[in-house]
């Protein structure tokens, strides 16, 4: 493969590798980037300052020298983020000379955890050495065949057990004490009707995850989310238990609201649904969201205790996802209490914002969403 410098594609492949590692190790993206960043060394021997350098390279900036590029690729491979068939392309886009040779070296070296060497796919070459045009590897052929059969059986056993354990782990609900930064969207055979009620049978397939719990001063408002997907859309269903459903008047983004921050078409986009008066539908292009007040709930009426509200979203996807694709995601729940249509920073308002990944910003998304089929 010839040398083809492409910093943008390098950044995309690096992003894919980081997300794959986050899903594999059940950690958030920020932590994975920190681990990789601190493991690298500058030319002067100093360490990088955590994940900021990885984030810099993910944006399409190339590492400063070939040694760092090689170490980065090796680290990604060791952490199961870079596959053998991706390695050469990854190095090629970084401008690394002779990437095929480098990848062969990377995938034939033992990992830092003492595992077996990471082996690339077989080259397909004959194992028979030749001398004067005649095969010479004829000794102990029966023993070699038996050894090969035993090795194949052992490898297949490890693969079957590994796949079983991985599926078991990923299949467990995040809300049951598992990694809180790994979510799953289940494929929808039929599209739900976006009416805010979440009453289509297809929603029963999705996993419900508690992602926000507000302080007791807000009566412990909670928000639960679940996801569906198909070739065109990501569907989001949110169930909020809230004793005071109300808005913030002139700043609707400070009203009771839900935001979904998702990686879409290579960009991080925020999709927000705010409760504004009795308006229930919010539409922007092909994106659609609708809320529905639960029984015994009213809007901007502090004289009673409400049950809360439901939100149903349809987010158009720029690229068609396939099974096991992963994207970055964050969630935000806003709770505005005790002061209908009042400013969020008024002394009368009991105000709370809960970010799912804990970073206090919608400009980043450190969670991971995986697209799966049942």
CATH architecture observed for domain 178-372: Sandwich (2.60)
* Bridge partners for 290 per DSSP: 281, 312
What is the pLDDT at residue 174?
36
- Global pTM reads 0.61
User: Position of tokens 């158009």?
Assistant: 316
Q: What is the mean pLDDT of each run of 10 residues along the chain (374 residues)?
A: 71 90 87 87 72 87 88 93 92 89 85 48 33 38 54 68 43 41 91 96 94 93 97 98 92 93 91 88 93 93 92 96 92 95 93 90 88 90
What is the pLDDT at residue 250?
84
What is the pLDDT at residue 137?
36
Cβ proximity of 360 and 333 under 8 Å: no
Cβ proximity of 282 and 315 under 8 Å: no
What is the pLDDT at residue 139?
34
What is the pLDDT at residue 11?
87
Q: How many CB atoms lie within 10 A of CB 129?
A: 9
């Amino acid at each position: 493969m010839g040398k083809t410098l492409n910093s943008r594609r390098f950044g995309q492949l690096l992003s894919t590798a980081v997300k794959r590692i986050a899903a594999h190790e059940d950690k958030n993206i920020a932590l994975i980037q920190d681990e990789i960043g601190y493991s690298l060394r500058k030319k002067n021997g100093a360490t990088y300052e955590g994940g900021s350098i990885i984030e810099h390279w993910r944006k399409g900036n190339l590492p400063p020298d070939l040694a760092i590029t090689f170490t980065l690729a090796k680290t990604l491979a060791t952490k199961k983020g870079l596959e053998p068939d991706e390695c050469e392309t990854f190095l090629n886009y970084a401008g690394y000379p002779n990437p095929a040779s480098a990848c062969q070296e990377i995938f034939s070296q033992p990992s830092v955890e003492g595992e077996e060497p990471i082996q690339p796919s077989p080259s397909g070459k004959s194992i028979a050495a030749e001398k004067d045009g005649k095969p010479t590897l004829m000794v102990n052929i029966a023993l070699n065949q038996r050894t090969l059969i035993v090795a194949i059986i052992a490898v297949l056993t490890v693969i079957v057990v590994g796949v079983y354990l991985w599926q078991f782990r990923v299949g467990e609900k995040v809300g049951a004490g598992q990694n809180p930064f790994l979510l799953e969207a289940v494929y929808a055979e039929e599209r739900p009707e976006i009416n805010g009620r979440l009453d289509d049978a297809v929603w029963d397939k999705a996993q419900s995850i508690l992602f926000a719990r507000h302080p007791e001063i807000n009566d412990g408002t909670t928000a639960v989310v679940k996801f569906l997907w198909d070739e065109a859309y990501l569907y989001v269903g949110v169930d909020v238990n809230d004793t005071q459903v109300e808005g913030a008047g002139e700043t609707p983004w400070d009203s009771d609201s839900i935001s979904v921050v998702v990686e879409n078409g290579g960009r991080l986009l925020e999709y927000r649904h705010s409760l504004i008066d009795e308006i229930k539908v919010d539409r922007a292009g092909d994106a659609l969201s609708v809320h529905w007040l639960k029984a015994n709930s009213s809007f901007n009426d502090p004289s009673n205790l409400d049950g809360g509200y439901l939100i149903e979203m349809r987010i158009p996807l720029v690229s068609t996802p396939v099974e096991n694709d992963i994207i970055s995601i964050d969630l935000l729940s806003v709770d505005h209490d005790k002061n209908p249509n009042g400013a969020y920073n008024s002394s009368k308002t009991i105000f709370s914002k809960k970010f799912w990944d804990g970073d206090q910003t919608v400009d980043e998304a450190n969670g991971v969403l995986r697209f799966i089929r049942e």
